[in-house]
Structure 1
Amino acid sequence: MKKTESAEAGAAAAVVDFESRPIVLVGLMGAGKSSIGRRLASQLGLPFRDADAEIEAASNLTVAEFFEIHGEAAFREGERKVIARLLNEPRHVLATGGGAFMNKKTRALISRKGCSIWLRAELDVIYKRCMKRNNRPLLKTGNPKATLKKLMEERYPVYAEADITIDSGDGPHEIVVDKIIAALDAFKKPAATNGTAGKP
């Protein structure tokens, strides 16, 4: 009997307290990370942070200008540093750039310090949203839809490593926010033995 109680106590102690961690939205451009993130933060009474906006403020350049002047590698390194800094702040909702979660170090840091949510969307939804704004550096190609399809093929298997997956369709963002809140309420994840969080 005592052995069983001890095992149960140990399992309970291994559950990560996600109520104190930043909520990190990941996903492809056009998935709705910023707009949904703002609504989610408002609903939860939390601050909202946007990694791209933080980079723009720090560099005094738009993301497109940063890409053009310094290149993608420099942008990703700056992005990694910004996200690392933000993850040390009190709990908030953080919208990341589409490529942020592809960085292995950034992904590991988010796993240790945040709760990641992949906003998954279909190609047609992503394309429609992205074409509303012509400021996506990676889409300045002759066939942006084909570029998006290629990015989805490369990135979706990695995004799938996020703690929670929520489908972001073409409907009102409030529906997605409600789904996220319900998933957060239900979500618990055991801590891995090395101190990082594991899958549910």
Structure 2
Amino acid sequence: MKANVKGSLFLVGFMGAGKTTVGKLLAARLGRRFLDTDEIIEHQSGLTIERIFKLGGEKQFRRMESEIVEVVCQNGPAVIALGGGAVCGEENWMKIRQSGVTFYLRWNINVLLSRILNDEHRPLTRGKKNGADLVALFESRRPRYEASDYIIDCPDSAVPEQIVEQILRKVGA
């Protein structure tokens, strides 16, 4: 099944939105490569995202992320899961928009919080048990997410396959 999209399909959204899971399924359905910017960063650096945050802080991570965004945008059509903050930098956003179509996986914030609050492997959630800081982070990113080409509304009970079907309908595949 071929998508009616010449460039890449970029999945954007907050942490816990299922971008990696949905992306792998979508790529298989479309016969495209799947890339995950966080996984590429970990592979190339030999460090976990958590470790990068500990050693170099968020600023160092965002610098690495920007380099990877540039590379994946130049590597031809793929399904690409972007880290939750990858779209926040203006330069990243411009490259992404020029390289393909963006899909925002929009979930209720309470669903996302239930998935991520107890995940010790997410450096931005460490020590945040009530979620207020995460809600503020989500709200600061939401305008960029909502500027995506397509918004995919994900009901609380949605499973990845349902989200893939929504995306396929949007691209006419």
Q: Report the TM-score when normalising by structure 2.
A: 0.92
Residue in structure 1 matched with residue 102 of structure 2 by the alignment: 116
Rate the CA distance shift 1:24–1:142 in 2: closer, same or farther, 3 A.
closer
Residue in structure 1 matched with residue 144 of structure 2 by the alignment: 158
Residue in structure 1 matched with residue 164 of structure 2 by the alignment: 177
- Comparing 134-143 with 170-179, greater Cα deviation is found at 134-143
In 1, are the aligned partners of 2:37 and 2:80 still within 8 Å (CA)?
yes
Residue in structure 1 matched with residue 12 of structure 2 by the alignment: 26
Residue in structure 1 matched with residue 76 of structure 2 by the alignment: 90
Question: In structure 2, which of residues 70, 86, 92 is the aligned counterpart of residue 106 of structure 1?
Answer: 92
In 2, are the aligned partners of 1:26 and 1:98 still within 8 Å (CA)?
yes
CA root-mean-square deviation? 1.7
Equivalence map 1:41-80=2 (5 Å)? 41-80=27-66
Rate the CA distance shift 1:68–1:83 in 2: closer, same or farther, 3 A.
same
Q: Percent identity?
A: 33
C-alpha distance in structure 1 between counterparts of 2:158 and 2:128, whole Å: 29
C-alpha distance in structure 1 between counterparts of 2:118 and 2:99, whole Å: 34
Residue in structure 2 matched with residue 192 of structure 1 by the alignment: none
C-alpha distance in structure 2 between counterparts of 1:164 and 1:83, whole Å: 20
Q: Report the TM-score when normalising by structure 1.
A: 0.80
Larger Rg: 1
Q: What stretches of structure 1 of length at least 5 have no aligned partner?
A: 1-16, 187-200
C-alpha distance in structure 2 between counterparts of 1:156 and 1:107, whole Å: 14
In 2, are the aligned partners of 1:51 and 1:95 still within 8 Å (CA)?
yes
Q: What stretches of structure 2 of length at least 5 have no aligned partner?
A: none
Matched residues, number: 170
